[in-house]
């Protein structure tokens, strides 16, 4: 099993390793946590989110949902028994004011909040975990850098 600590870089050489990383993280995160996901288009942010949500569903004895990118509707919500997961994709937003109007953190103490493309967010919230997905070695290797995990 992969180990994620406060500042770890993990190679994601396959979807199975991405799923294993999501499984590891699912046991470390809790309601109230906010996860920023940084990285280029196609680097694996949404794939990671899909595995994370599906693993949490499985642990709660629920069938896996179809998890898609909320690029066009900005937010997808998942209710997993007592756990609410808000999955945002801010890619299409162009200004700080657009971000402020979303009320991203209004419900954060009662949910797990996942935010792809969080670059426009000016004030970092408490309980923040940052995942930076990158390509390396001329797009041959994908990695994720973990920051802020207790």
Would you call 45 exposed, middle or buried from its count of C-beta atoms within 10 A (0-12, 13-18, 19+)?
A: buried
Residue range 39-88, pLDDT digits in tens: 999 999 999 999 999 999 999 999 999 999 998 899 999 999 999 999 99
Residue 6 has pLDDT above 70, yes or no: no
Q: What is the rounded CA–CA span in Å between residue 137 and residue 142? A: 9
Residue 109 has pLDDT above 90, yes or no: no
Tally helices (H) and strands (E) across the chain. 3, 7
How high is the pLDDT of residue 4? 52
Element (H, E) at 133: strand 128-136
The number of CA neighbours under 13 Å toward the Cβ of 59 is: 15
Spatial contact of 48 and 56, defined as CB atoms under 8 Å apart: no
Residue range 70-80, pLDDT digits in tens: 988 999 999 99
- What's this model's pTM, rounded to 2 decimal places? 0.91
């Amino acid at each position: 099993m992969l180990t994620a600590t406060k500042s770890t870089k993990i190679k994601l050489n396959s979807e199975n390793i991405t799923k294993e990383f999501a499984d590891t993280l699912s046991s470390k995160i809790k309601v109230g946590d906010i996860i920023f996901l940084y990285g280029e288009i196609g680097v694996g942010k949404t794939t990671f989110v899909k595995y994370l949500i599906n693993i949490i569903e499985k642990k709660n004895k629920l069938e896996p949902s179809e998890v898609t990118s909320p690029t066009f509707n900005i937010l997808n919500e998942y209710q997993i028994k007592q756990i609410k997961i808000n999955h945002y994709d801010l890619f299409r937003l162009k200004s700080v004011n657009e971000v402020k109007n979303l009320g991203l953190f209004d419900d954060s103490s009662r949910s797990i909040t996942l935010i792809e493309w969080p670059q426009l967010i000016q004030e970092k919230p408490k309980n923040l975990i940052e995942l930076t997905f990158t390509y390396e070695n001329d797009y041959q290797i994908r990695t994720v850098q973990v920051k802020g995990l207790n």
